[in-house]
Amino acid sequence: MHWGVSVCRNGIPEADVDASAVLRTASMGKVFLLAEVARRLEAAELDPGMVLSAAGMPPVRDSGLWQHFCDVPLTVSAAAVLVASVSDNLATNVLLAQVGLDSVQRMSAALGMPQTRMLDRIRDERTPDDPPGPSVGRAGDLAGFMHLVGTPGGPSDGWRARMQAWLALGVDLSMVASALGLDPLAHATQPPGLRNKTGTDVGIRADAGCLTVRCTTWSYAVIANWETAASDPNGPGMVTAVLAAMRRIGESLWAAANALP
C-alpha cells in the first residue's frame, strides 16, 4: 500500500504523507482537462455553445452518463459539467479530442505541476503500447491545485470561477468527503462549499478537494495505490479498508477546520 496525503490551510501544508510521490491517480487528471477548457472559454478560444458529437468515438464503459444516450449531441459546457459531476468518460474523450492532450499537459506544467498530469484518454482496454493509465500525480500538487481553484484573486478569476462551479457538482463523496455528511446530489450551494474530484480504478482511490470554513480555505489530496492479484483485484476487504481510512482523514480535517475560531 502506498499513500500520498496533503492537507493545506490557506495554501500552507498542515499535514502530509509522502506528498511528493508520483502515484497513479486514475481519472484525476481530468481536472487539468477542465482547467484547459475553462481557460479557453474565458479567452474566447472556445464557444461554450459549440455542439460536440460522440459519433466515431471508441466506446468507453464505467463512469458517466453520456454513453447511455450518446446519440444526443452535447455543448462544450454540458460536456464539462458531465466530466466534473460524474467523471463522464465519453465526455472526457470528446473534450480531449477537441482541445488536445498536449494542451492539457501544458496547462498542468504552466501551473508548476509537470509531474502531475493527464497521460491519455480513457480506454476500456490498455495494450503495452498505451500509457499505463490516464493520469499520475502528487498529492502535494493536487492539494495546491485545489487551493488555487478555490481561492479567488488575480487575473485568473474567470477560469477559476468556472472550475468552482463545475467541481461543486461532483457526486462522488465516498472518500475523504464522506466525513462531511453532505448530500451527494445537492450540495453545490451548501456550506462548506466543497469542490472535489475523485479517481477510481483497480488498486487506486484518489480524492482532491477544497472547502471553506469561517473564511479559511482547506485543500486536500489523498491518494491510495496498492498491488492487486488477478484472481482478486480488490483484495480481501481492501477497498473497504481504504475508504474507511480516507474517511478518517476527512474527519480529522473537518475537526481541525471547526476547531479554529
Q: How far apart are CA 167 and CA 210, in angstroms?
A: 10
Q: Looking at domain 2-259, which of 2.60.40.680, 3.40.50.300, 3.40.710.10, 3.30.70.270 is its CATH number?
A: 3.40.710.10
Range with lowest mean pLDDT among 67-71, 120-124, 165-169? 67-71
- Continuous segment of H or E residues that includes residue 189: none
Q: How far is CA 140 from CA 27, 122, 209, in A?
A: 17, 24, 12
pLDDT digits (tens, 9 = 90+) for 140-178: 999 999 999 987 665 557 889 999 999 999 999 999 999
Long-range contact set of residues 154-158: C-beta below 8 Å, sequence gap at least 24: 158/38, 158/42
Mean pLDDT confidence for 206-228: 94
Q: How far apart are CA 71 and CA 244, in angstroms?
A: 39
* pLDDT for the residue 69: 86
> Phi and psi dihedrals of 2, rounded to 5?
-125, 125
* pLDDT for the residue 59: 86
In the predicted model, what is the mean pLDDT of the chain?
93
Map grid coordinates 450540495 to a residue.
Answer: 187
Mean pLDDT confidence for 135-144: 98
* pLDDT for the residue 56: 86
Residue whose C-alpha is closest to residue 256's, from 66, 12, 30, 2: 12
Work out the percent of the chain whose per-residue pLDDT is above 70: 95
Q: How far apart are CA 125 and CA 11, in angstroms?
A: 38
- Indicate if the pLDDT at residue 261 is higher than 80: no
What predicted TM-score, i.e. pTM, was given to this entire model? Answer: 0.93
- Give residue limits of the domains in the chain: 2-259
pLDDT digits (tens, 9 = 90+) for 219-231: 999 999 998 765 5
Give the pLDDT band (50/70/90) at residue 233.
Answer: low
Please report the DSSP string for 5-65 in residue order. EEEEETTEEEEEESTT--EE-TTTTHHHHHHHHHHHHHTTSS-TT-EE--TTPPP--SS-S
Q: How far apart are CA 103 and CA 195, in angstroms?
A: 24
Work out the percent of the chain whose per-residue pLDDT is above 90: 83
